[in-house]
Each structure stands twice: as structure tokens, then as C-alpha cells.
Structure 1
């Protein structure tokens, strides 16, 4: 759970004495096997502050690469886990600047200020406000983003006339377990939508959000944006207000420069067809946003089956992974084992979608002993289970890969 910081701890860490103490703590290993002796060192020099120092330094190390200027932040382990990665937050800030040039943005669940920091660093936006009900985290945010205007306030009590409001409800229950239920977010998603009805509002949520249920049962009419970063789906973001149409958007961010966006306004006129040279597994943001057909249309691909997200074609789009097909047949473990043995396969990547097959258990039953690395894609076409034996997967560069 981590150390339970107090306002006094934060005030101390913000002084020059606290900064010096953090430098000392930062010079220690702070690993499980050294922690007892490291704590003794800090206790002898900074009595009563050792726990706050250790937790801050260890949290900074976890945040390295995820948050802006992690080595100078005041933060907690839980806050690091909950914070949006810098690259994702920066992309959203640029999006806001393009949609609302000069806008005042208010993050009503600002926590330690990670999102506020990216908003403040984005040219083209107006003043940035942040508020939170947790005064300790708010004090940390004041250190982390001194340029922002911060105040203590409940997210469900409007305290500004900002042009755009951002909220990131907590996704854990009081017992600490992660929740995916819409009514268990804190503050409640429905309360947020009601409180800021008619105003531009962005609500960040878990990527597993059932946005179709939100539309069908609760009449949600805004935009749903699913964002991934370097292959991992990070969040679903709800854009509400009169400015936002009923739309699905997939935002794919990649450090190799092959990222893209696609929406359901793009064409999706494709039909399933016979397997091509490659099998392609689209980015998770595309799949979760329900935009597989739209993505296929953009890249001249098609589906093996209209209900399955695997695509096929004669090229691999930039940044995607593809598996070149060697052969395919109806799925039979006996036949698959015989062919993989004949192909001298010893290392096997197994991809499964649309059929009830456990990859790990199947790999154990195949008992391969060869020297070649191959892949098998197991799926269905119509009601028939099929298996594609492929070369090892490759990721296309910025130019893609063609047959």
C-alpha cells in the first residue's frame, strides 16, 4: 500500500532540508535486501522522515519514463500507478489545443498533477486549473506544477467556469480491488456526467469500459476514444458535451513514429475473403473501438471472418505485426503436431481468437523439439476452426511490409 503521507511530510520535503534529504535517500539502493540498513542510515540522519523519504525515492524510480521530470516530483506509489503516462497525456493536451485553442482547462481530479503538467506544457492552451479532495496530493501537485492554479474541492462541486473539464475517477473500491463497474467509480461516472451536463467534459476510464452498454442503457451520445501506447491499450476517454458527436475513435501512439488515428467516419466497405499472404492482428485500440473493418479498408486488407478481428492481405501496415502464411488447414491437434514436427519447429508462438483453445496447454501437448521458430494462428472461418502455420511474426517499419 505504501507510506501514508501527511501534509507535514510534504511541507518538509519541499524545503531545502527535505531536498537534501531526498538526495541522500536517492544515493541508497533501497532494494528489499538493503532496505533495513538503508532505513537505519536515514533514521540516524533524518529521524521521523525515513519512511517518507524512502517512499518518495522509490516512487520516483517507478515513475521514470512515465511522468515528466520524475526525479523531482513529490508523489506516492499509488499515484504513480494511477497517473496517465506522459506520452498519452501530452497527446491529449495537443488534441485539446487543436479543438479548443486558448481554452482554460480544469482537471477536477488532479491528484499529484501529472495530467496538469502536460496541459501546462502544451502551447496553445490558456490557464490550467487543478483541484482535488485529497489535500496531501494537492500539496504535492503544488510542488510538481507551480505554474498551475490549484484548489481543494470535490469533483462533484463545480468551482470554475473553465472551457473544458477533465476527470479521472478512481477505479478501485474501498477495499483496494480494481473495479470495472461504472457505478463503482469514485466519483461516479453518472454523477460526473450529470454535474457537468452541457459542458465540454473529458472522463478518463479503464480501457475495458463497456461503452456500448453506456450508449444502449444510459443514452450516452458523446465520443468514445480508445488509446494505446506501444501496443498496450491504456484507457478509454469519454468526450461529452454539445461539441462532440456520437463517434468512436482509436488513437494509436507509438514511439517509432507509426502511430495513427481512425474513426467510424472512415469507410468500412470490405468483405471477408480467402487468406492472403499475411495474417495481421490489429492494434488493441482498433479492436476495442470496433474499428477493425475501417482499419482494413484503409490498408487494403480484409477479414477472414466477419466476426473475427484478424485481418489478412498482401501487406503489413506500418507498425503492425504480421505473420507470413506458410500453409493452412482445418484445425486438428494431431495434424498440427505432425506438420510442425516435419517443419522442425521447436519454438512456437500461438495466437488464438474465436475458438476455445488454451495456448499454453496446447503448446505442452504438442511437445515440439525442433530448431525452427514458427507461429500458428488458430481461429475460425464461419463455424470451422482453422490453423495457419506461419513464419515467426515480424513488426513492419515505417514503410510497412509487402508480399
Structure 2
């Protein structure tokens, strides 16, 4: 679906979520922050702007506000997307965004966590974008400075975090000396992710060279190659953080800001839990107990499954598989109570599920080439009970076998 015109309005639906694409300029920001723009935004906020009404709503906005229609509609849509992501961080309902800035910006929970680690430090956010990190830091950093090379995002930040000193500067040409430097290199271009850290903007290898010896905090994609980071000479702490059940980011803390002896950390904000590579990791490998636990993604991504298992009295089903098992379920952790264990063959599995009146079927897989959605369709569950099937490859070489655990989920 698309709507547009001579005024430059571009609203395109690319997928089931939809994306708003608009290249804002300084004139747009000046208008949106003016009295006239503020009043216009209040009027546009009354439009539904749903898939069913978008074409008509866009036409109505364009008829009423002419060339400003594109910026008004895009800002309204982006503000609505931002409400959940930044809940409690600031008065987001009045903020300005670009689409890519909103996509890359840290969620409120993660930004607040990082701000607490930086509490008491003088901080320079050298890639401040529209100001989300500054909003989290302004109450805990005694001295705070923001800069960005993008003049449009910087203009938005001046509106979003009024009162924080801001300047236009290239992150690779430092404008501060004694401050901790926070960097969030761009990882998107044209709506697409950049996976190679050398393709970040600015590139991670350039950041490492320019800020060598400085106290830095660098935000990265959660899937970043830890070995590649080490090859750049980084010898601080890599923190992988999850929130609301999803891994959000990896963050590189320079040695001066790291916990002594810690090189990797998993932070699970939902449970305020921290696991590090300095924790004990002497968990055994043994047959399944009563429960199977699939550790939080931050724990798995940080390579701290054994440390997590040891902390909670669990053990591994296999040394190369992240599933853990035990006789007690850790507090506040979702687990799977084992009802049956059988080789991964569809006919016996279908019979086992039928015998337990399986209706809603959840399938988790590690180490086995199985498409959960395709397998679920073939198993054809038709009962009333929620069942989870945990599939894992156990053993190595000729002794390797695929096992299916039929389970009752704890919640």
C-alpha cells in the first residue's frame, strides 16, 4: 500500500508491521517544533492512520496541511510506535524521530540499566541521535554532553532533551577529553541491518583506534562476533542484555568501566539477574531430571550456560547444547516438566501427543535440523491440553541421537 504526491509524502507498507519512510530535513524539524506545527500534530493525532484508513487519512492531512503533511503523518506514526519501546523514559508523546533512529534506539529498560552503570561519571554521548540515551542519563550523570554528525537528528535531540548541551561533531574526531564516551554506531542503512562491524557507521575498527586508552561504552548488535571484537584489541567486558524476553544488544565496556576479572556478562533485566564468566561453572553433564530449562537468550549468547546452570543447581543434557535440566525449577523461570522421552520419530511422537490430548503445541529445537512449524503441521494436534516438545541432539559422532521430550510447560 502506498500514498504520496507532489508534497513528497511516502508511506509504504513493506511487511506485516509496516514501515514509515520519510527523509526529514531541518525545515521539517523547524516546522514540527513551531507553534503551528505543534497545533497541527495535535490535529493529526486524532486520525486513526490504520491500514484500513491510511489512504483517506493521508489525503485529508495533505489537503489540510499541504507540504507539511508528510512530516506530520510520519511523526504521528513514529510517536505511536515509540510509546511501548520508551515507556517511562521521557515524555515520548512529544518527541521527534526518524524511522531508522527509532529502530536502532535502545529500549527504555536497557537505557536505564546502562545509565545506572554510568551513574556519577561525566558522559559524552558521541552518537546521540535523537537523544534517547541522554534522556536516561540526564538524572545520573553530573556532567552530560551529546553530539552527532547528523544535523537533522541533532535538531530533533535539541527538542527532545532540551537543556542538555549538544553540538554537531563527527564521532571519529573527539570533542571531549575526560568524559566517558558512549558510542552507538549505525547498524542500519535503508532499513537493512549491517552485520559486519567494519560496516558500522562509524566502523568499529575505527572507533577502537580513535578511542584507544579512553573510557568507552560501545553499543553493538547482539550477534556481533566476539572473536572479531578481540582481534580489534578490545580487552574489556562484553555485556549481553535481554529485556522482555528478547536479547537487545551487546555492549562493550572498556577495562576502566568493567568489573575486575569479568570479560563476559549476561544481564537479564526481567529478573534483575547477572551472570559472568567469573562465576563458578562446575555443573555436570547427566541424564534429564524432572525439568528442562531453556536459558535466557542473553545467557546463551554470552556463552555462560554452565555458569547459569551451576548457580541454579542445574546440569547439562549435553556439553554442546544449551538446554539444562534439574529436579527443581529456578524461581521466576519458565520450564518444561518432562512427561515422556522418546527418539525423534514422528509416528511415536504423534501417538504420545494424542495420548496426552495435545492441543496447543509448542516445539523448541536445538542441534537438530527440524522446522518447528512444519513439524507441528504434520503432527496435527487436535486435543485440548497445552504441550511443549523439546527436541535436542544428544551425544556426538556415531553416538549422536535426536531426542524428543514431551513436556508440560510451567506457564
State whether TM-score is above 0.5. yes
Moved more, 183-192 or 238-247: 238-247
Give deviations 1:125-164, integer Å, cap 9, x for gaps: 2121111111011000000001211000111000112420
The answer to whether the aligner puts 1:234 opposite 2:248 as a matched pair is yes
Distance apart, 1:36 and its partner CA: 3.7
Between the aligned partners of 1:46 and 1:89, the Cα distance in structure 2 is: 36
The answer to whether the aligner puts 1:312 opposite 2:322 as a matched pair is no
The answer to whether the aligner puts 1:104 opposite 2:118 as a matched pair is no
Distance apart, 1:324 and its partner CA: 0.5
Give the secondary structure class of the aligned counterpart of 1:365.
helix
Distance apart, 1:16 and its partner CA: 1.7
Report if aligned partners of 2:208, 2:232 keep a CA contact under 8 Å in 1: no
Report if aligned partners of 1:278, 1:322 keep a CA contact under 8 Å in 2: yes
The answer to whether the aligner puts 1:390 opposite 2:407 as a matched pair is yes
2:211 alignment counterpart:
196
Report if aligned partners of 2:390, 2:405 keep a CA contact under 8 Å in 1: yes
Report if aligned partners of 2:208, 2:234 keep a CA contact under 8 Å in 1: no
Give the secondary structure class of the aligned counterpart of 2:407.
strand
Between the aligned partners of 1:32 and 1:340, the Cα distance in structure 2 is: 40
What are the ranges of 5 or more consecutive residues in structure 2 without an aligned counterpart?
Answer: 1-19
Between the aligned partners of 2:237 and 2:195, the Cα distance in structure 1 is: 19
1:269 alignment counterpart:
282
Distance apart, 1:106 and its partner CA: 0.7
2:96 alignment counterpart:
74
1:144 to 160, 178, 181: 160
Give the secondary structure class of the aligned counterpart of 1:74.
coil
* Distance change >3 Å, CA 111–CA 394, structure 1 → 2: same
* Distance change >3 Å, CA 48–CA 305, structure 1 → 2: same
TM-score by length of 2: 0.89
Between the aligned partners of 2:164 and 2:240, the Cα distance in structure 1 is: 28
Give the secondary structure class of the aligned counterpart of 1:329.
strand
Between the aligned partners of 1:343 and 1:62, the Cα distance in structure 2 is: 41
Give deviations 1:184-234, integer Å, cap 9, x for gaps: 11100010111111011111111111113322x334211100000011000
The answer to whether the aligner puts 1:171 opposite 2:187 as a matched pair is yes
Calculate the aligned-residue CA RMSD, in Å.
1.7
Distance apart, 1:82 and its partner CA: 1.2
Give deviations 1:107-130, integer Å, cap 9, x for gaps: 111110011111113x3x212111
Moved more, 42-51 or 70-79: 42-51
Moved more, 107-116 or 363-372: 363-372
Between the aligned partners of 2:47 and 2:374, the Cα distance in structure 1 is: 44
TM-score by length of 1: 0.91
Report if aligned partners of 2:222, 2:247 keep a CA contact under 8 Å in 1: yes
Count residues with an aligned counterpart: 383
Moved more, 159-168 or 26-35: 26-35
